[in-house]
Chains A and B, each alone.
Chain A
Amino acid sequence: MTQTTPDAPVRRQRAQIKVRTLRTDRWWIAPLLTFLALTAFLVYGVWAILDGSYFIDPYIAPFSSPCLSTSCVEGARLFGWAPIGDWYTLPPGLLILGLPGGFRLTCYYYRKSYYRSFWLSPPACAVQEPHGKYTGETRFPLIMQNIHRYFFYAAILIGAILSYDAILAMVHKPQGLGSWILLVNAVLIVAYTLSCHSCRHITAGRLNHFSKHPLRYKAWTFVSKLNAKHQPLAWASMFSVMGADLYVRLVAKGIIAFPFA
């Protein structure tokens, strides 16, 4: 008979269940779909950054906006401005890629999704992860996730620029399908950006006395409502930015050429 005194070694043991999980549902579908979707986004992003067809008046592809170097086509430059000058000859998208990319990479939702689907840490709830050791976000490089708020500040700027691009397209070509696609994309990007957990913290989450800051509390309440939709907004804005970018490039290449494109 096994000893059962509190000090007996066996009393300090968990149930010795030898399988990784006893879950009977298809728990692997969600991480698999996430893996495929995020991989598709990364592959598309690499192609788009290297692709030269990023502008056709009045549309600019979101992956290449703002276009800041002299190598940018005249109409594609933000306010006609080229602060980077002519020394920069690489694709213009490479210059700004780190800002929206970093925002998504350090986003609390995307962290969950790629920790689960790429790093399998864990692949799903109550499914054992394959790693022997785990230190989470306590060390470099993952401790750098704490700078998410700085990417949020940059993402606000990017969101404003994409909105400006969309408004400009609407003004110059209100009948164009591309103008509407860029507008929907800008709305989703801005909504995703504002629904960010760092934004929620900055508006008033850091306060302990909401009653002393009624305006900030109101803003926090609004952001909290958006924040509850952070996951769907993350996906919607990811597909919309990919879709809008591809659309502009296809129009620029002449592959899409109907009258109201």
Chain B
Amino acid sequence: MTNSRLFVPLSCVLIFSVLVGIGFIIPQWAMFLATMALAKGLVALGIVILMRAGLVSFGQGLYFCIGAYVSGLMANWTGITDIVLLSILGVLVSVILAAICARLLSGYRGIFFAMLTLSLSMILYGALSKMSIIGGTDGLNVSAPTFLGYAPEGRALGFSLYFYTCLVSVIAGGLIRVYFNSERGLTTLAIRDNELRVEYLGSSVKSAISSGYIMAAAVGGLGGVIAGLAIGHVDPEYAYWTTSGEFVFVAILSGFFSIGAVFASSIVLEVVRSFSNLYFPNTWQLVLGVFLLIVILLLPNGLGSLFSKRRRKGGSE
């Protein structure tokens, strides 16, 4: 536990400064890799929110895809390229859809919840694949973003996108840390342990799960907007189940104790995948699988348990 109200904002400022500082020294390919890792880390953070309530979503690709398509379609149809506006729209659409889906999903637990989330994302995948008006399986290209009127190009564009991604990731991470430390956050951990007791204490488990799912969708949509703009192309694969599986991979790798561990795990995944792809082009999935196996065996509560006092036993974070 950290009693100081300043701990979270100060940590955010420190982490943001370090990340931006790193941006000045790393090459452009690494900056792109870091941008994508942070964007995907945001989506995985959504899964971690749900994991704290004992649920795993295998369908966060749904909101990743929604965010990416919102940025692509808005840029192509309306000419809006401002990243802040696109982020707000991506999050808004994701939240509205999640609020509708949450009514269905909050009544399910375990594998049923996981499979329903998966099926929702696959419905979107199927629908987008058949919609030739927006590119079908080929998807569509996305214009380069602008930043409150600033329209950089080349390395400046990559750095601006990296800077923006660091900023929103740190803000989202900080807000979610506040939520994890809050009364609601603790109640969510209690739901994971004993749903019946929480109901008998007067709290609504469905409401807690719904709000967690909506928060997960918000960060998922935000990650999708950034990824779509960073790659410059969106296609239905964003909603495909293997994409969702990557986010689950990151969430399991990180565990649900530390928010920093989620982004660190996402970076680890991107790095391992990039280098495995380079040196073991046909067996890189095998390398990833072995890596995850080692983590599960040695750190069953994920990388985050290295930085958390809670770990397996109780205690404050």
* A in complex with B: no
Report which B residues bind A (CB closer than 8 A): none
